[in-house]
């Protein structure tokens, strides 16, 4: 499925409009629905994921670290430091974060301040193993970018100022995410993994049924051929 603008003019316009709006401090610039539609101008072969990311989302934050061991329950707490990922030099302490007390209410000043700090921004975290695999695999690089674009499109509300945090596993799948808006706040972890496993299981079942159907048709063809031969 293509979520992008096919013409270079559309890509140039949206990226430039984003830059101008950020400079003018207009709530973070163009909506991320529009930004997700912006295509990077020029060829995509032999282009790193970071280069592709920056060409489409110039202000996006990019970090390389393995978030696979972050507990989904901790990721979902209101006091988890998602805002720390909105930097180009994230401290590794976020990977081992532990709560220091009771979970604060979502409407508490500290939580609201953290959410407001994420508005109008995008942050992407890639594990070292995936970054290494993408160096010589253009197809994988493009797939990861497509998954990011798809996530932004499906979780964006046109006209709203929002913030997005996505972390990927070594296979290029989103394993943690956080979406914050002026009127919404959602975090997800295990459901991404479970949803992928469900899709893979369903695909495997379809393939098994298709193989069984093909084998059944072949046996029927052989049986018909045998019956015709015996009559002759």
Q: What is the pLDDT of residue 14?
A: 36
Instruction: Provide the pLDDT confidence category of residue 27 given band limits of 50, 70 and 90.
Output: very low
Q: Are 86 and 117 in contact (CB under 8 A)?
A: yes
pTM here is 0.65
Helix (H, G, I), strand (E, B) or coil at 120: coil
Q: What is the pLDDT of residue 198?
A: 56
- Of 67-81, 99-113, 171-185, 188-202, the poorest mean pLDDT is in 188-202
How would you class 146 by CB atoms within 10 Å of its CB: exposed for 0-12, middle for 13-18, buried for 19 or more?
A: middle
Render pLDDT for 150-202 as a digit per residue (tens, 0 to 9).
Answer: 889 888 888 888 999 999 999 999 999 999 987 667 777 655 555 555 555 66
Of 56, 62, 31, 32, nearest to 42 by C-alpha is 56
Predicted confidence (pLDDT) at residue 102 exceeds the cutoff of 60 = yes
Q: What is the pLDDT of residue 31?
A: 47
């Amino acid at each position: 499925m293509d979520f992008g603008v096919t013409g270079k003019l559309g890509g140039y316009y949206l990226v430039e409009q984003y830059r101008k709006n950020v400079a003018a401090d207009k709530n973070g610039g163009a909506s991320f629905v529009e930004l997700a539609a912006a295509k990077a101008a020029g060829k995509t072969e032999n282009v790193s994921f970071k280069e592709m990311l920056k060409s489409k989302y110039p202000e996006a934050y990019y970090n390389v670290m393995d978030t696979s061991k972050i507990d989904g329950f901790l990721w979902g707490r209101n006091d988890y430091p998602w805002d720390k990922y909105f930097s180009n030099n994230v401290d590794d302490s976020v990977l081992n974060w532990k709560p220091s007390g009771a979970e604060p209410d979502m409407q508490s000043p500290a939580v609201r301040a953290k959410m407001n700090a994420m508005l109008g921004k995008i942050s992407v975290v890639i594990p070292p193993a995936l970054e290494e695999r993408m160096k010589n695999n253009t197809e994988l690089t493009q797939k990861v970018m497509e998954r990011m674009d798809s996530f932004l499109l499906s979780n964006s509300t046109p006209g709203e100022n929002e913030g997005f945090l996505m972390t990927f596993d070594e296979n290029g799948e989103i394993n943690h995410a956080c979406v914050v808006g002026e009127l919404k706040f959602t975090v997800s972890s295990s459901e991404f993994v479970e949803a992928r496993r469900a899709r893979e299981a369903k695909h495997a079942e379809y393939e098994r049924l298709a193989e069984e159907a093909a084998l059944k048709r072949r046996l029927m063809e052989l049986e018909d051929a045998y019956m015709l031969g015996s009559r002759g």
